[in-house]
Structure formats: C-alpha cells, structure tokens
C-alpha cells in the first residue's frame, strides 16, 4: 500500500507540473534493446545516455514478433537510426526465451 501511495503521489505531482514545465523535447536516434535484468544499469554500461538513447528492456533480449513490431515503429515513426541489441553472460531469461 505504501508503494502504491507513493506512486500515486508522484503521478499527481508530475501531472500538475506538466502545466508549468515544458515536456520532453529530445528525439533519440539510437535504440538499445537489452535484457530486463535489474542488475544491468544502462547508465553504467553505456555511460549517461538517457539524453541520446532510448532503451527497450525485454526478457533475455529475445526478439519476439511483438518486439520486432516495436522496433519497426521506432524506426518508421520516431526516427531511430541505430539499433543496438545486447545480451549478457549467464542470462537465465535468454535460456527460458529460447526453450521449448
């Protein structure tokens, strides 16, 4: 309950501030597809790239049909020019994603 209350408070504050603070204007040209493993911190792996890269986190970096559609939309509708697909060692999710 405490976490939900914090999220609701942050969302309310964010919604209020939108009236006074201009929205995001950056338009990244690079999309990084990486595993959803929370131990992987893109800011450490790629440097502070939040202004230059968009990150799509998926289990095991597995490229399902839905993920491929998301990537295609990023290219056609959002101007993504470079796609980096990463994996990491000992990825349990990759094993699950590629198993029967």
Query: Residue 20 — very low, low, confident or very high, per pLDDT cuts 50/70/90?
Result: confident
pTM: 0.72
In terms of Cα–Cα distance, which of 76, 8, 1, 62 is closest to 34? 62
Q: What pLDDT is stored for residue 92 in this prediction?
A: 86
Q: What percentage of the chain has pLDDT greater than the value 70?
A: 90
Residue-wise pLDDT tens digits, 34-74: 999 988 888 888 886 566 788 899 988 889 999 999 999 99
In terms of Cα–Cα distance, which of 71, 78, 86, 81 is closest to 41? 86
């Amino acid at each position: 309950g405490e976490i939900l209350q914090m999220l609701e408070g942050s969302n309310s504050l964010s919604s209020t501030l939108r009236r006074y603070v201009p929205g995001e204007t950056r338009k990244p040209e690079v999309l990084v597809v990486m595993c959803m493993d929370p131990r992987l911190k893109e800011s450490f792996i790629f440097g502070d790239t939040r202004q230059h890269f968009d990150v799509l986190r998926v289990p095991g970096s597995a490229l399902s049909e839905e993920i491929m559609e998301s990537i295609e939309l990023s290219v056609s509708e959002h101007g993504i020019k470079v796609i980096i697909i990463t994996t990491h060692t000992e990825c349990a999710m990759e094993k699950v994603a590629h198993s029967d």
